Amino acid sequence: MSISDEVTIREARREDCQAIINLSKEIANFHKHFNAPQIDVKVLEHDTFDVENPNMGFYVAVMNDNVIGYGHYYYTYTLRLGRNMCLQDLYVQEKFRNRRIGDKLMQAIAHKAIEQNIGKMEFVVTDWNPAKSFYKRMGALDITESEAFHVYQLDRSSIQKIASPDT
């Protein structure tokens, strides 16, 4: 039996939130965002499980009652395609990589997307991340190359500046 066979993929539960937060810190370190702000577990629990229609969800990879990976998605909407899904994070602890656990997480999220009639799934991958080959193997297209799109972000202070009546 392979490690992959010992792993269960399921939708996250409230009691998984601390493990998800811990794994998200591993991702931040992987991306060298050592001082990246982190929400606390109570905020994650509330936003995921205490609101009527959360705009996001998580799948977790569990082995021997330990969360060893997760996939985090959220919804967007376009007038062209309707409801869409963004993959925020797909993470498997390093010692469990290359065992098709990421494949299983992606498959679970893809099933959710099909059930909900999602038009497309988008995500951002850093140029140096070796996971690019994983996503390409899944059939993902790099629209940065094909469409010359650029991803922009506004941080909290920029949003506040824009919202200010003095703008």
Q: What is the pLDDT of residue 61?
A: 98
In angstroms, the CA 31 to CA 46 distance is: 26
Provide DSSP, 49-92.
IISSS-SEEEEEEEETTEEEEEEEEEEEEETTTEEEEEEEEEEE
Q: What average pLDDT does the segment 41-65 reach? A: 96
Q: What confidence category does residue 37 fall into, taking pLDDT thresholds of 50, 70 and 90?
A: low
Weakest-pLDDT range from 39-53, 89-103, 106-120, 145-159: 145-159
- Residue 1: pLDDT over 60: no
Residue ranges and CATH numbers for the domains of the chain are 3-142 (3.40.630.30)
Six-digit token string for 12: 């996250």
pTM higher than 0.85, yes or no? yes
Provide DSSP, 88-109.
EEEEE-GGG-SSSHHHHHHHHH
Residue with tokens 């998605």: 73
Mean pLDDT for the chain overall: 91
Give which of 25, 124, 20, 37 is closest to 71, Cα–Cα: 20
For 76-96, what is each residue's pLDDT tens digit?
A: 999 999 999 999 999 999 999
Sign of CA dihedral 81, 115, 142, 67: positive
For 106-130, what is each residue's pLDDT tens digit?
A: 999 999 999 999 999 999 998 888 9
